Chains A and B, each alone.
Chain A
């Protein structure tokens, strides 16, 4: 039985910035470090964390059945095929949208706390009931945002709500960073984002086409592709979450350095 479980909410406000992808990859990375990890899909109206993890066809029960005592928790938990330390729990059935209440969320997280080192909650987009439910049981949060104005504005709103609900610490992940555009100042820079949001940066994730491929295959990047830039970023985030001191990558250097040019050359299809 794990004692000091960390319950982390992964949220963004805006949709499509990469909450679910981060949850899946962070889950795999933590599990690979030998930590028992549960990912709880609180976005059950439009659930797709199971798709990303390639576990869609293994779901039988959800947290709803567990709370209604129709099944046991271990029946509802779906173990990952390759990473046995990782389990998925969908919070509910997409057809029963309004059953979940903040208290239900607390009860289910309390049950998960008894078995796992980490509980990652994948939060739905928006700041309405779905977000409030997902937030109810969280102790700390990771806010995901993209270097664009609308995503940063929504993240700011969400951070305000997290603060008024006494969720601490809140850390930031800047997703889909394009080093070249940042170097040419065509995109918000890291400083622009951290200036407004005033949060510690947990990590950057570089834009990577392989993310799309891995999503469609249902195999998170961190599972096997070691050479993907995004996968490295996810691994680093997981390590930093564990307290390891790993320096952030510098996107400008990444785009102009010799190593980057060489890597791009190697990845070009002609070779």
Chain B
């Protein structure tokens, strides 16, 4: 057995949907590597599904090292189980992303709908658009900008790979902490005025918050 990771793809498009566990089992039989990467594509997996996957992997003496998916639900589940997980943009395979990593066009946005709760973590290789609240204790991170159509009460990190021009915008900006590129700032103490969207960006080496004019 060699140790270079091999990738198994699970997707919802084919007729495998009904019986994906059986299908995965048969795929594991053909695999030669011990370390497995799972690409779930657009398939929604819950924590219990992933636990079953792990059990199947253990049966064939394999170890899952990483999850890829375009479904944020799958990513949140696998991350909450402590697995390395990569959120992939739709219509954009991981390989091309990796190749173009340096001059990645960050106008592409990942989209997440729903509340991000305490302890949860969301990471995006481009811009991140969240339709919902980011609760205290949650962390959202993007290599590009972060836009939250809701309240930001947790921690947000924009420009996580060093883009100092990244911004964080929210309908209500009341974060515990803001990070842009390598700068860190504590959130403001006083509550912001209701009904005014705000934006945080770096201005002369400091993170400042101003009223949002345009994204």
Instruction: Point out residues on A near B: beta carbons under 8 Å.
Output: 127, 153-154, 156-157, 159-161, 163-166, 196, 198
The segment from B11-19, B91-99, B115-123 found at the interface with A is B115-123
Among all A-B residue pairs, the 10 with the closest Cβ atoms: A160-B117, A156-B118, A157-B118, A157-B119, A164-B77, A166-B46, A156-B117, A164-B47, A165-B47, A160-B120
- Name the residue on A nearest B44 (C-beta): A166
* B47, B133, B136: the one within 8 Å of A153 (CB): B136
- Tally of contact residues, B, Cβ under 8 A: 17
Closest Cβ–Cβ distance, residue A132 to chain B (whole Å): 9
Q: Decide if B153 is an interface residue (CB 8 Å cutoff).
A: yes
Chain B residues near A156: list those with CB within 8 A. 117-119, 135-137
Q: Decide if B80 is an interface residue (CB 8 Å cutoff).
A: yes
Chain A residues near B133: list those with CB within 8 A. 196, 198
Closest Cβ–Cβ distance, residue A130 to chain B (whole Å): 16
Q: Give the number of residue pairs across the A-B interface with Cβ within 8 Å.
A: 43
Q: Decide if B76 is an interface residue (CB 8 Å cutoff).
A: yes
CA distance A159 to B120 in the complex (A): 11
Contact (A153, B137) CB under 8 Å given A165-B48, A166-B46, A166-B48: yes
CA distance A166 to B153 in the complex (A): 25
CA distance A63 to B203 in the complex (A): 62
CA distance A196 to B151 in the complex (A): 10
**26 contacts across the A-B interface (CB closer than 8 A):** A127-B119, A153-B136, A153-B137, A156-B118, A156-B136, A157-B117, A157-B119, A157-B137, A159-B117, A160-B76, A160-B120, A161-B47, A161-B80, A161-B119, A163-B117, A164-B46, A164-B47, A164-B73, A164-B76, A165-B47, A166-B48, A196-B133, A196-B135, A196-B153, A198-B115, A198-B133
